[in-house]
Amino acid sequence: MSKLNFYITFLVAALVLSCGKENNIQPQIDSIAGELPLLNGDNKIGTIKGFNPSNPPATADSMAARWQEAINAGMTVSRLQIDWPELEPSPNTYEKVSFEQRLAEMKDQGLQIFLLISAYDSGEAVVPDDLKEKDFDDPEFIQRFKNLMDWVIPLLVEYDGYLISISNEAENSFGEVPDLHKHILTFLLEIKEHVHQINENMAVTVTISEGSLDEDKPGLLEILAACDVACWNFYGAKSLYTLPYYYAAQTESEIKSDIQRMLDVSGKKNIVIQELGMYSGNTTLNSSEEIQRIFFEVFFGEMKKYDRIKAAYNFQLVDWSPEVTEIFADLLEEEGLPQDFIDQFSESLETIGLIHYQNGMRKKAWNEFVFWLTEFE
């Protein structure tokens, strides 16, 4: 599970009102993998289940039922997120069995896999302990990840994987960590070349927050151009930074504008949405189940117009539990952030799912999600 900076970014940096930027970089499809030849079809949508270590019995039953309902409705893609240290618990020693079991479980359900191994996740590196002091462009660091890819990629292909992302929202630290953007670019280019040598059809990317386009992030567009496909995190809220709301639900026109911006900035590259989400809270926030449903209706309606948006993954099936949310709320409090912000942050996590945590009841957005599964099929 990602660290505190990820969740702050999830609701602040990634949920910013689009303003658009002009640039001279027009990313092109420059590899066989960029066509996503391993993905069977276009406009695929899926979901992740969530990060709660446990759920109430009724909720767990509902999650299982909803998952099967989605598969019956035509869901054929899934996403697996795993950290590098989980796969390499000690130097050059690998945990292959449990990884293969997780891949096999998805394939047995008829699901093609998008794998996320975020070596850099939002505000920090997520790497084996002995590599934490090394830069991402260090030859030893790069070779270790290549060694990992030597067995990960063949397994991923065997179990119907089609895409791997090797970083998640690293741009949040660009301009703050010296030369990080240069190091990530070198890391991406080296790993992409190596993966293509193993299998030229496997696409390699890094994941970028759509909201980061509002900021002058050094090297962001060069990194995007180096990816096989453009991979984005996209949420349906805009940043306000004024009370009573620190962020607020976007209008239909704002959602469409942000989608168009992703299309424009991605040039000719195909697009995958790693995280697609909208909270439904209306106590400290200004959303509702209907606003959440509309977000998905608008996004999927736009997605249907563009075969270039190859896949999108809902984040996530079930709301965060109060217990897990409290862990991060306490950390925010220790950082001295305003209580109003903490309350809204907590409510957003506790209402981000398509079903309720407490009882597993379906929200309106669930039926919208299932409708688009059948529509795309």
Name the stretches of the chain with pLDDT < 70. 1-24
C-alpha distances in Å from residue 307, one per residue of 52, 220, 239, 242, 376: 34, 24, 29, 38, 11
- Amino acid identity, residue 371? F
Cross-strand partners of 208: 232
Can you say whether the dihedral through the CA atoms of 291, 296, 299, 304 is positive or negative? negative
Can you say whether the dihedral through the CA atoms of 318, 324, 329, 332 is positive or negative? negative
Residue 67's pLDDT is 98
| Strand residue runs (E) in the chain | 44-47, 77-81, 112-116, 120-121, 124-125, 161-168, 203-209, 230-235, 237-242, 245-249, 271-277, 309-314
CA distance 283 to 287: 9
Q: For 169, what's the count of Cα atoms within 13 Å in the CB-facing half-sphere?
A: 27
C-alpha distances in Å from residue 188, one per residue of 83, 145, 164, 165: 17, 11, 11, 10
Is residue 57 within 8 A of residue 63, CB to CB? The reply is: no
CA distance 85 to 209: 24
Residue 12's pLDDT is 40
CATH 3.90.340.10 for domain 4-376: no
Question: How many of the other CB atoms lie within 10 Å of CB of 192?
Answer: 22
Instruction: Say if residue 244 is preceded by a cis peptide, omega within 30 of 0.
Output: yes
R_g of the chain computed on alpha carbons: 19
Is residue 328 within 8 A of residue 4, CB to CB? The reply is: yes
CA distance 295 to 355: 16
CA distance 21 to 215: 9
Q: Which two tokens stand for residue 185?
A: 């670019």
Residue 216's pLDDT is 87
Instruction: Name the pTM for this structure.
Output: 0.93
- The CA dihedral of 4, 80, 260, 73, to the nearest 10 degrees, is -130
